[in-house]
């Protein structure tokens, strides 16, 4: 019964999942860049500091958080759609592990935002630049896993 419904709406679920991934990834790539500039171009308590905090809060709360929720909901709907995932393959596990890591990164970014709010950022612009490579690597693993089914 549920499998029949999921099979029927599969194209819509897949499209909504892709849209949610795109919006989530846009935020995942942009928020660390905001942190780089926030770290390098502001002083705690300044008007620019407040501006960066507002931009970071809105990006996280209005774009990234709803997107991650949608990614997970539509992704799980795809997982439970009959015939979509072959659990004898390796790719569902590499994709799943990478999604868990990307979710962890999302929450790590949220904690760094709170550090800025508290005036307690401990990382440098260079460290944020390096951390910005994490989602790129994870994205590569996810896309190659799904497309090549390795």
pLDDT in tens, 3-27: 899 999 999 999 999 999 999 999 9
Structural domain count, the chain = 1
- Round the average pLDDT of the chain to a whole number and report it: 97
H helices present in the chain, as ranges: 2-8, 10-41, 47-58, 65-79, 91-117, 125-131, 134-148
Domain span at residue 119?
A: 2-148
What pLDDT score does 150 carry? 76
pLDDT band at 88 (very low <50, low <70, confident <90, very high): very high
Backbone angles phi, psi at 18, to 5 degrees: -60, -45
- Tens of pLDDT, residues 115-132: 999 999 999 999 999 999
**More confident call, 121 vs 150:** 121
């Amino acid at each position: 019964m549920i499998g029949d419904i999921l099979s029927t709406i599969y194209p819509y679920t897949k499209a909504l999942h892709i849209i949610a991934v795109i919006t989530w990834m846009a935020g995942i790539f942009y928020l660390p860049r905001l942190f780089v500039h926030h770290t390098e171009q502001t002083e705690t308590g300044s008007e620019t500091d407040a501006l960066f905090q507002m931009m970071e809060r809105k990006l996280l709360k209005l774009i990234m958080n709803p997107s991650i929720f949608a990614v997970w909901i539509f992704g799980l709907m795809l997982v439970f759609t009959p015939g979509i995932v072959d659990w004898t393959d390796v790719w569902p596990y590499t994709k799943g592990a990478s999604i868990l890591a990307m979710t962890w990164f999302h929450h790590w970014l949220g904690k760094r935002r709170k550090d800025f709010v508290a005036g307690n950022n401990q990382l440098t612009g260079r460290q944020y630049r390096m951390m910005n490579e994490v989602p790129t690597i994870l994205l590569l693993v996810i896309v190659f896993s799904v497309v090549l089914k390795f």
